[in-house]
Amino acid sequence: SEAADLLGLAHYMESMRLITVLELVPATSDENVTVTDTELSNVPVRLYLPRRAPGRLRRAMLYFHGGGWCVGDAGMKSYDHMLRRISNELNAVVVSVNYRLAPEHRFPVPFEDVYSVTKFFLQSEVLSQYGVDPARVCVAGDSAGGNLAAAVAQQLLEDPGVQTKLKVQILLYPALQALDLDLPSYRDNTDKPLLPRSLMVRFWSEYFTSDPALREAMASSRHVPTEAGHLFQFVNWSHWLPAEMRKAHEYSGATFGGAELARRYPGFLDPRASPLLASEAVLRRLPLTYILSCEHDVLRDDGVMYARRLRAAGVTVTHHHAKDAFHAAMMFILWPLELAVGHRLFNTYLDWLKENL
């Protein structure tokens, strides 16, 4: 991807998307679940409807895939497998959203797509059409999708046009803030496979612009203007991380850059892109929360800090920290890329859903 980008043959993310294409599977129904590719609120979705008689109103999940807002697809084999199982085992309606991607569609477009689908689905007549219990609906997502799920849950609180309340938000190794990309987890996992620090910085910057100036400033932690210094209280890892995750790392305080990048690309200071920047007044109104964080993951500390901030605000949180796992480990549940840790994480998450959704 880097070579193609440097030679001008293809944008970096276009090359990255080849991985997505190789993973795509068609919408195929089976004896348990009817699967269709359709649209809700003019946004493409993959819809999973259980075949068996409900007995009572069903649960529902709105799912947002990962991929750094730039790659990924609801039709990828791992997502299709997991959501098919969730639909069948929970007898739940699952809507997996194929939001538009950067760099063609930058922030806030991916957020607006998933929000539009969620708001549409939460209408009483739509819930009724699918036989969904309005008291048993959740949003969920992994990585960048976890970012989108957290942002949607926050935004719904401010929307007078939405009467249905979420029961649960599920955030699987989520990316939650673009202020401090020098957290202990970024330092500990700089060159770890699947999501090295350089790739996460690239994802974050591409979400807002292809201007290399932002990427370079993010890489050196000099993209936040002094005027936004008050926001660092929400991501101050010396306060929000437990001692065992701070380890021997020293917190040297916030570092700042000029105001120009934030003026041109204000999105990275927006809670819709960085949900960890939300105030306690917003957090305390959020629903029951499940957060998965993985030890060997640059995004580990985002999830840990959000769990601690939510608990401090009075929200009930189940925080599952997997000390032997890496970013996106839950995707590794199908041959030939099948790992015991992937099955364990998915089954733990599925069991929690059965109990709490």
So which residues are the catalytic ones? 143, 297, 327
Q: Which amino acid is located at 243 in the chain?
A: A
Torsions phi, psi for 113 (to 5 deg): -65, -50
Under 8 Å CB-to-CB from 243, ≥6 apart: which residues? none
Question: Taking the CA atoms of the chain, what radius of gyration do you get in angstroms?
Answer: 19
Cβ 97 vs Cβ 45: under 8 Å: yes
Cβ 127 vs Cβ 52: under 8 Å: no
Element housing 50 (H / E): strand 43-50
Q: Residue 312 has which token pair?
A: 């401090």
CA distance 306 to 125: 34
CA distance 169 to 316: 11
Helices 12-23/197-208 angle, 10° precision: 110
